[in-house]
Amino acid sequence: MKRIHTIIICAIFAAFMQGACSSDYLNTVPTDSTGSATLFENTENAKFAVNGLAKLMSMQYLSTQGFNGEGTIKMYYGNYPGAHFSVNLPGWAAIINQDYNLNLTASYCYYPWYYYYRIIGNANSIIAKIDGVSGPENEKKYIKAQALTYRAYSYMMLTQLYCLRWSDSNQGASLGLVLREDESDGDMARSTLEETYLFIYKDLDEAIALFDESGIHKNTTDLGKTYLVDKETAYATYARTALNRCDYGKADAMAKLARAPYPLMNVSDYKAGFFNPTSEWIWGIWGSSDETLYFYSYHAYIAYNSTASAVKSYPKCISKELFDKVPDTDVRKKLFLNPADYPMFTYNNQTGQVNNAWRDSIRGTKGTDPTANIYAYMQFKIAASAMPGVGHLNNFRSSEMYLIEAEAQYFLNNPGAAQQALIALNKDSGRDPAYSCTKTGAALFDEIKVYRGLELWGEGFDWFDLKRWGDPLARKSFANGGSFISALAVSYGPEEKNKWTWYIPARELDYNKLAKQNN
């Protein structure tokens, strides 16, 4: 069992070779599920391996139906443990309140490690073999650039979960990741966090150069191709990585490059349900009726119109604290159920569930399932295109890039540039025509935080942002003027919960004798 991330080559290549279908995306296969020799015979076949990396992001894992690729990372690790994502799930208090961080045998501790290293292992196979396949040189460069970007993205996500935040790392001297970069998978010590970030930078620098040399570019206006990784995906990964590393000049520069071909969506598209790509989707995960995880897809856990019990019984809600900070002129505020709009109805002051009269009225006007529960502050931002939870899922939007620019410019002591990024996102896009920003200092940083929370709500950023900022978690119960059930109305600081850092899972430590924990 030493090789827990080994590329397992199985003889089912014929299955994907026969699988002609209506979508190019469906012609995909991970490298660990096809014959290696055939897959790397030429660039045409190798393209299937790259698309297979995309497929790995929307598969079920660990024989547990709830683990659904990238969607699980967004929901369990980004949304649930954050400050602004409320749901009546007392039975999930352990994961929502970060009580699994130190449980190195729990599947929740192991899943992100397993999932991202599986992508890394498949990407490593492509990177190692692509130079030797037959086919045009520019195609080989393009394929290699895509694999490098997937690897960099995976390492970037792992650093946020299993490593200390940069501000606690003694300028990167703390432990980073096991930097596997070839097909060997034996014992290997953890690099420092600085070495880990430099490795990610190196991958992205090489990927960007190869994208340029290939001369191959994704059609950014073809919304059916948003699952394809391209140079802007590398820029966006770079921007988020640099922000995490407090490398603000690079974060700002890369964010501008990433968003350049992706104009912000209009208000109509913003209110359309977030299940189809729009003009600002830089990179996403395919989600259609012929490629669905049914009740275990991301949208089956969050989409307000889903027929899945995970939504009908437990709709997802924004925190009252964040909601109350949003101006009434902002169209995004209207994507959440405002109790003030229904003064004649009441809701349970322990759970937020509304009474029957309000429930029936909302069901008839908001498009929820006829049997769904209705909760105060429930979301109507994210819907499903088909039942029980079909929808595309975005990884990077240009909106995030504007927010990265705002935060980077704030720390670069350019408040005017930070203000302009917020104005471009909020006013110029039409999301709040009345928006203006003249704030400076701590008030400006608080403004950035509010609009990151609002703009990116439900997309898996909440907890990651709190950790990066070193902010405490403080959820208020309904009884104390908030919108969380008592089991989830907890508070703790950035020094608690192992500094919000997941343990390296036991399965890695058992089979990699050189790896060790942060403490």
How many domains does the chain fold into? 1
Per-residue pLDDT band at 30 (split at 50, 70, 90): low
pLDDT at 38: 79
Better-predicted residue by pLDDT, 18 or 482? 482
Long-range pairs for 491-497 at CB < 8 Å and ≥24 separation? 492/98, 494/467, 494/470, 497/98, 497/101, 497/102
Per-residue pLDDT band at 358 (split at 50, 70, 90): confident
pLDDT at 16: 34
Per-residue pLDDT band at 262 (split at 50, 70, 90): very high
Which pairing describes strands 317-318 and 393-397: parallel, antiparallel, or unpaired? unpaired
Could you give the count of Cα atoms lying within 13 Å of 217 in the half-sphere of its Cβ? Answer: 7
CA–CA distance, 333 with 434 (Å, rounded to integer): 13
Is residue 306 included in any domain, yes or no? yes
Helix, strand, or coil (residue 400): helix
pLDDT at 35: 54
Task: Calculate mean pLDDT across residues 163-183.
Answer: 95
Is residue 361 included in any domain, yes or no? yes
Beta bridge partners of 86: 317
pLDDT at 28: 43
- pLDDT above 90 covers a percentage of the chain that reads 86
Contacts of residue 496, Cβ cutoff 8 Å, sequence gap at least 6: none
Is residue 289 included in any domain, yes or no? no
Better-predicted residue by pLDDT, 292 or 27? 292
CA nearest neighbour of 321 among 458, 481, 110: 481
pLDDT at 66: 83
Q: Is the pLDDT of residue 261 over 50?
A: yes
Tell me: the pLDDT tens digits for 381-421? 999 999 999 999 999 999 999 999 999 999 999 999 999 99
Is 55 in contact with 78 (CB distance < 8 Å)? no
pLDDT at 357: 81
Q: Is the pLDDT of residue 18 over 50?
A: no
Whether a cis peptide bond, with omega within 30° of 0, leads into 90 is no
Q: Is the pLDDT of residue 177 over 70?
A: yes
Residue 180 tokens read as: 């596997």
Count CB neighbours of 254 within 10 A.
Answer: 28
What b/e readout covers 132-167, taking b as 16+ CB neighbours within 10 angstroms?
Answer: ebebeeebbbbbbbbbbbbbbbbbbbbbbbbbbbbe
Burial of residue 11 (CB within 10 Å: 0-12, 13-18, 19+) is: exposed
pLDDT at 32: 52
pLDDT at 65: 65
Tell me: the pLDDT tens digits for 39-65? 899 999 999 999 999 999 999 998 776
Least confident of 63-67, 236-240, 341-345: 63-67
CA–CA distance, 466 with 449 (Å, rounded to integer): 9
Residues 312, 346, 335, 392: what is their CA dihedral angle, to the nearest 10 degrees?
-10
Q: Is the pLDDT of residue 190 over 50?
A: yes
Per-residue pLDDT band at 344 (split at 50, 70, 90): confident
Is 407 in contact with 446 (CB distance < 8 Å)? no
- Give residue 359's domain range: 294-391
Tell me: the pLDDT tens digits for 421-469? 999 999 999 999 999 999 999 999 999 999 999 999 999 999 999 999 9
Better-predicted residue by pLDDT, 17 or 304? 304
Better-predicted residue by pLDDT, 80 or 24? 80
Contacts of residue 268, Cβ cutoff 8 Å, sequence gap at least 6: none
Task: Calculate mean pLDDT across residues 472-497.
Answer: 97
Is residue 107 included in any domain, yes or no? no
Q: Is the pLDDT of residue 184 over 90?
A: no
Tell me: the pLDDT tens digits for 72-130? 999 999 999 999 999 999 999 999 999 999 999 999 999 999 999 999 999 999 999 99
Q: Is the pLDDT of residue 318 over 60?
A: yes
Is residue 368 included in any domain, yes or no? yes
Per-residue pLDDT band at 26 (split at 50, 70, 90): very low
Count CB neighbours of 434 within 10 A.
Answer: 10
Q: Is the pLDDT of residue 27 over 90?
A: no
Q: CA dist 314 to 304, 320, 371, 440, 483, Å?
A: 10, 17, 12, 39, 14
Count CB neighbours of 4 within 10 A.
Answer: 17
Task: Calculate mean pLDDT across residues 217-243.
Answer: 97
Is residue 177 included in any domain, yes or no? no
- Residue 228 is given by DSSP the state S
Per-residue pLDDT band at 1 (split at 50, 70, 90): very low
